[in-house]
Amino acid sequence: MGRKEEILEKLPRMYRQFIEYQMLDISKQPMEVAPTAHYSMGGIAVDPETHATEVVGLYAAGECTSGLHGANRLGGNSLAETVIFGRRAGAAAAAHSRESEIQRRSKKAVQDADDELQSLIKPGTELARPLQRALRNLMWEHCGVVRDEARMRDGLRKLDELAAAAQTVDIRPGEEGWFELEHVLDLRSGLRTAEATLRCALERRESRGAQSRSDFPALDPGLQRNFYTRLERRDTPLTVWSEPVPGLPEHLKTLIGDDELPVAGRLLE
């Protein structure tokens, strides 16, 4: 089998992507390989049995939740997150709806959301797409593969500057629709997620799983904890706290067996 045939058999999608986006034939020329962030091992905190959130009547499932991952990502877990926990969330949401005497509809919440969207539609000096790129670069430089306190604190400072710039994005109706509004909403979510990542990474003064800190290279057994953030008010930083990682339930210990517990414990940390 020739080189091109082998690549087409094993990496057909990647071969086509390089041709389409880079005009690069990877069967003849080398391709650049570099790490990239494509998944967050954190997310919305949910009840494991029902995937209910702290908001009554709101359920979440899939990769938006804190999910099945511990200190590192386990391949294939996204299938369980959607197939198993998506089913749990759907069943729990349906049960909640059936058991509710009334279906609450908050006119104020709808009006507040509409007012917030309307407040974003205005002339401005910035564009969303360059700010989105700046946010990606900031997180790569200040909270990338290897982290340290000085760079992360500098990242938080720069994040404040990006957040201020995001308030002056130019958004107005046009022939192309509301793409700029879509981008600025994504940017706002990205800014909040970036802040949560930086603040929790600062508090975890150790290296564990995918968290590699050059200033704290060792694993700290005392930090076998989950870190949480909450937005108390829009004009204040996120509140950060931590709680001990729950132990394995007895029925899972029985299924895994004593010989495997150290490995399972590391995976769940």
Domain ranges of the chain: 115-241
Q: What CA–CA distance (Å, rounded) separates 130 from 19?
A: 26
Q: What is the mean pLDDT of residues 106-114?
A: 85
Reply yes or no on domain 115-241 having CATH 1.20.58.100: yes
User: Is residue 104 over pLDDT 80?
Assistant: no
Q: What is the mean pLDDT of residues 205-211?
A: 94
Confidence band of 163 (pLDDT split at 50, 70, 90)? very high
Helices (H) and strands (E) in the chain, counts: 9, 4
Q: What is the mean pLDDT of residues 116-138?
A: 94
Cβ-Cβ contacts under 8 Å for 143 (sequence gap 6 or more): 151, 152, 155, 194, 197, 198, 201
Instruction: Name the residue with higher pLDDT: 256 or 153.
Output: 153
Please give the C-alpha separations between residue 263 and each of 83, 224, 257, 259, 268, in angstroms, as whole numbers.
25, 15, 11, 9, 9
User: Is residue 268 over pLDDT 50?
Assistant: no
Q: What is the pLDDT of residue 188?
A: 95
- Determine which of 106-110, 142-146, 199-203 has the lowest per-residue pLDDT on average: 106-110
The distance in angstroms from the start CA to the end CA of the chain is 44
pLDDT digits 0-9 by tens, 70-100: 888 887 888 888 889 999 999 999 999 999 8
Q: Virtual CA dihedral for 41, 45, 47, 48, nearest 10 degrees?
A: 0
Q: Are strands 146-147 and 225-230 parallel, antiparallel or unpaired?
A: unpaired
pTM (two decimals): 0.82
Q: What is the pLDDT of residue 76?
A: 81
Q: Strand, coil or helix: what is 169?
A: strand
Instruction: Name the residue with higher pLDDT: 1 or 204.
Output: 204
Percentage of the chain surpassing pLDDT 90? Answer: 61
Percentage of the chain surpassing pLDDT 70? Answer: 93
Q: What is the mean pLDDT of residues 213-226?
A: 96
Mean pLDDT of the chain: 88
- Determine which of 43-52, 95-104, 221-230 has the lowest per-residue pLDDT on average: 95-104
Confidence band of 266 (pLDDT split at 50, 70, 90)? very low
Please give the C-alpha separations between residue 107 and each of 96, 101, 110, 111, 113, in angstroms, as whole numbers.
21, 18, 5, 6, 10
Cβ-Cβ contacts under 8 Å for 89 (sequence gap 6 or more): 46, 50, 51, 59, 60, 61
Cα radius of gyration rounded to whole Å, the chain: 22
Q: What is the mean pLDDT of residues 182-189?
A: 95
- For residue 21 the two structure tokens come to 């986006």
Q: Strand, coil or helix: what is 205?
A: coil
